[in-house]
């Protein structure tokens, strides 16, 4: 774990975080931790399950090896969410955010974005950036709710089933 993360990570982040409605405390057993090399297969499996054009295992390994902020949430040892952020030039750049379909709308994405924003602040970042598919309305709604505003558009940024798809660029001052 980076020194930055240790400073920004209160002890409660390593214990039970959130529960979906209908879960008992025993069922929850939810823990957040930094991603390590031993987590690559589980993280990649979730990436492949959620995204039509997933990142490769090599990209995830490169993010960990480059010292990016790579965090995941597990429930009973199963990866249910993760986020990856690059820090530099007084900015945090949210590169990837993924939540398993069965665990959406439980607050995990909000929690990860909030946590990574705190990490960025500790590292003197002044803003957070991210790109999102123009068609990903639930994510756009989430980012807007969290205070992000659209500042641009990248034409043909993402691969799509037919041709390419634009990315919307969002930013938030920290």
| Residue 91 bears catalytic tag | no
Catalytic hit among 68, 82, 131, 165: 131
Catalytic hit among 68, 108, 111, 143: 143
> SS in 3 state form for the chain?
CCHHHHHHCCHHHHCCCCCCCCCCHHHHCEEEEECCHHHHHHHHHHHHHHCCCCCCHHHHHHHHHCCCEEEEEEECCEEEEEEEEEEECCEEEEEEEEECHHHCCCCHHHHHHHHHHHHHHHCCCCEEEEEEECCCHHHHHHHHHCCCEEEEEEEEEEECCCCEEEEEEEEEEC
| Residue 82 bears catalytic tag | no
Q: Which residues are catalytic?
A: 131, 143
């Amino acid at each position: 774990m980076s020194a930055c993360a240790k400073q920004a990570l209160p002890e409660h982040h390593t214990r039970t975080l959130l529960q979906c409605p209908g879960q008992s405390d025993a069922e929850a057993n939810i823990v957040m931790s930094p991603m390590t090399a031993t987590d690559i297969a589980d993280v990649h499996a979730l990436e492949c399950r959620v995204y039509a054009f997933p990142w490769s295992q090599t990209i995830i390994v490169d993010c960990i090896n480059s010292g990016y902020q790579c965090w995941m949430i597990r429930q009973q040892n199963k990866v249910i969410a993760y986020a990856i952020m690059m820090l530099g030039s007084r900015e945090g750049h949210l590169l990837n955010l993924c939540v398993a379909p069965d665990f959406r709308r439980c607050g995990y994405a909000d929690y990860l974005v909030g946590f990574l924003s705190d990490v960025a602040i500790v590292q003197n970042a002044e803003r957070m950036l991210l790109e999102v598919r123009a068609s990903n309305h639930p994510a756009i709604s989430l980012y807007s709710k969290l205070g992000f505003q659209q500042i641009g558009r990248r034409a043909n940024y993402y691969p799509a089933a037919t041709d390419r798809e634009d990315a919307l660029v969002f930013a938030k001052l920290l």
